[in-house]
Amino acid sequence: MKLDIRRAHVPIEGLDLSQSFALSLETFFEAQKSITPHLRQLLQQLNHSDNPVTCLVSDVCMTTPTQHLADAFSLPRIVFFPSSQSSQLLWQHLITDPTLTTKRALEVVARQAAAEADEVFAEGLEGLPTFIRAADLPNFRHVVDDNVYVFEFMEREMLQCFHKAHSVVVNSFDALEGPAFKALSARVKIPIYGVGPLVEPLEEHSTTSLWKEDQTCMLWLDKQPPLSVLYISFGSVTLLSPSQFEEIVHGLLSSQQRFLWVLRPDLVETTGHESGKRTLDLLAQSQGQGCIVDWVPQLRVLGHSSIGGFLTHCGWNSTTEAISNGVPMLCWPYFADQHLDAKFIVEEWRAGLRFNMNNERGVIERSEIERVIKKVMEGEDGKILRENARKLKEASTRALSPQGTSYMNIQALLNSLDV
């Protein structure tokens, strides 16, 4: 079926992205409210065209600006939850279970130090791993500590979604998170549809990337042996301290592995003019075994035969893209749901490894970085992880096949709209 996709620009006022995403989440989410009048105008225009609007799909974090518009226009609103189903289920437990509560979770997150990361927060939550530890909870420390704001924000948004929305779609699939889908479906009144993984490669001209993708890295990958390259990307938000960056560089170079590194100019918490020199120095030290770019076509990179591992921040999009391509992961979670994603990658799916932090220094040291990289890229453990990742890839392919769960869920969703 061919889709006719039209794009329209809806401005968000009062949001300064000149420093990329180095801003507080409160600033980001509060600015989103400004889209309401512009979106109302767009809906009115579309309803006077030959193709009136029949439903509204919006992110869970866009509930406040969009749900009342859907109600006003008598449109079914489909909530898109962009993180894992397990993350959504954990939020629902925090919001509704009287023995947990977001308040208690905030208290644990507020006092969390490396030494307390193994503290058990909850045990035996339906649909989730046996133990949820302090380190697995969502944590929203970025440029500032946004935890109180975001926990309260998510509670309001999700309660409204489960009360008013038509349904929720999730970028995941039953074979990956079956217990979480079953548990949440039993706990809420609206349908939950797993429709992922939503990682179908896009043509270059239709990319949705926020940054220009450097296609020349693909030519470099073509020259590398199979499974020989470690792909490194910390996503669009992660910030590294200068000391942590130095440990990564030394550990990576000591591992003597080929690498493709997405090194954003603002990745390290220093002034931007230092990034060019940093990149040149790293390339010189790698002696031709490294390729460094600002941004890449990630799906094409992960699908390349030379990629043997992915050092990732464990954002859900990157996680599902790695799963869809059968690539084992080296987990470096930064914030939000990424810690829970890492837990599943390492402990539940056994398709990746973690790095152990030196609690006294507050960094992951170069020797540990070298050890983990070699373990995935050279060791027997890497073969086991790669085999587990291959099985996840096969499961994701089956989910999207005509008889797969995601394919059938999309059909069920369309049927439920009755349009």
Residue 142 confidence (pLDDT)? 87
Tens-binned pLDDT, residue by residue, of the chain (419 aa): 556 778 888 888 877 666 666 677 888 888 888 889 999 999 999 998 888 999 999 999 999 999 999 999 999 999 999 999 999 999 999 999 888 888 888 888 887 665 566 788 999 999 999 999 999 999 998 888 899 999 999 999 999 999 999 999 999 999 999 999 999 999 999 999 999 999 865 454 445 555 567 788 999 999 999 999 999 999 988 999 888 999 999 999 999 999 999 998 888 876 554 655 666 677 777 777 899 998 899 999 999 999 999 999 999 999 999 999 999 999 999 999 999 999 999 999 999 999 998 767 789 999 999 999 999 999 899 999 999 999 999 999 999 999 999 999 999 999 999 75
Q: Is the pTM of this model over 0.75?
A: yes
Residue 204 confidence (pLDDT)? 47
Alpha helices (H) in 256-379, listed in sequence order:
274-286, 298-302, 316-324, 338-343, 366-377
User: Are the C-beta atoms of residues 321 and 389 closer than 8 Å to each other?
Assistant: no
Return the structure tokens found at 39. 């979106």
Residue 18 confidence (pLDDT)? 62
Residue 8 confidence (pLDDT)? 86
Residue 143 confidence (pLDDT)? 80
Residue 364 confidence (pLDDT)? 94
In the DSSP assignment, the letter for residue 363 is B
Q: How far apart are CA 21 and CA 30, in angstroms?
A: 15
In the DSSP assignment, the letter for residue 145 is B
Name all domains of the chain by residue range, CATH numbers in brackets.
27-38+49-196+402-419 (3.40.50.2000), 204-397 (3.40.50.2000)
Residue 280 confidence (pLDDT)? 64
Residue 273 confidence (pLDDT)? 46
191-216 exposure pattern, b = at least 16 Cβ within 10 A, e = fewer: bbbbbbbbbeeeeeeeeeeeeebbee
Alpha helices (H) in 237-314, listed in sequence order:
242-255, 274-286, 298-302
Residue 2 confidence (pLDDT)? 58
User: Are the C-beta atoms of residues 10 and 39 closer than 8 Å to each other?
Assistant: yes
Return the structure tokens found at 265. 């100019």
